[in-house]
Amino acid sequence: MILHINGVPIHYHVSGTGPAIILLHGFLESSTMWNRLVPLLAEKNTVVTVDLPGHGLSGCLDEVHTMELLADAVFQVISELDLDMVRIMGHSMGGYVSLAFTEHYPSMVDTLVLLNSTSIGDSMDIRKNRDRAIAVMKKNPDLYIGMSIPNLFAENNRKGFRTEIETLKKDAFSFPHEGIVAMLKGMKIRKDRSSVLKKFDGRKYLICGTDDPIFDVSDMEKLSITSNTMLFKVDGGHMTVNENWSEFVKIMYFIDFL
């Protein structure tokens, strides 16, 4: 299905019936990352997956895709579907968007799942890395995408998940380059939303990979304590859905998504 925001197409899919679950993909990903999960969730839920602006089949909304702008796009999809209460699971950057959504529409969120994600904003060093990433992306997008995707997997999983890595790369190569740059700019300036996570009084979960190359597990442990959020630690890197499907499914049962 397609929703137009200021004339820009935003693609989303709806499956199943029951309480609503919104699934938001991460950076350099699209709604296809949930292809294995959706049929399972759709047995008892209305499952909505969205291609966030500038990713998948969706167009770009602006030069900078702030988390607020992306959360507003998600709100417009939810409104179009007439949903008033949702459970949201966001992978990495999708988690940043989920938190921005929760900050703006707290009464609409029943459950928040940050999958390989965090509420903590970028450090100065990470911001500098974002600038470097933007420069490489503008000069040689294929090099940037080709290097970034394997680095999401735990080092010892990169060979075993070669096929998945190639599929993800192929998908990301087709995204509009200005969309990728707009996301990098938006993530760089996103604010720390740890207070949003702490304040949120619905069900809330963090899922982290013990070998995540992006987020340190000890930081996740601290965040879990300070924000009073239940933490699941699983083997593997940043791509739990690929790298540890069996544990991921167990968690989905535990949190009553399945």
Give residues in contact with ligand MLT (CB under 6 A).
26-27, 92-93, 187, 214, 238
> What is the closest distance, in whole angstroms, from the C-beta atom of residue 227 to ligand MLT in the complex?
18
Task: Indicate the helix (H) or strand (E) that contains 131.
Answer: helix 124-139
Which residues, including other chains, have CB under 8 Å from residue 54's CB and lie 6 or more apart?
60, 61, 65, 175, 176, 178, 179, 180, 182, 183
Residue 241 or 252 with smaller CB distance to ligand MLT: 241
Residue 205 phi/psi, 5-degree rounding, is -140, 145
The nearest distance, CB 168 to ligand MLT, in angstroms, is 11
Nearer to ligand MLT, 71 or 187 (CB): 187
Q: Is 88 helix (H, G, I), strand (E, B) or coil?
A: strand
Other beta carbons less than 10 A from residue 225's beta carbon: 10
Shortest reach from residue 136's CB to ligand MLT, in Å: 14
Report the amino acid identity of residue 239. M
What's the min distance (Å) between Cβ of 129 and ligand MLT? Answer: 9
Helix axes of 177-188 and 141-148: crossing angle, nearest 10 degrees: 60
Closest C-alpha to 13, from 4, 26, 3, 5: 3
CB of 239 to ligand MLT, least distance (A): 8
Nearer to ligand MLT, 118 or 224 (CB): 118
Identity of the residue, 78 or 180, whose beta carbon is nearer to ligand MLT in the bound complex = 180
- Residue with Cβ nearer ligand MLT (193 or 238): 238
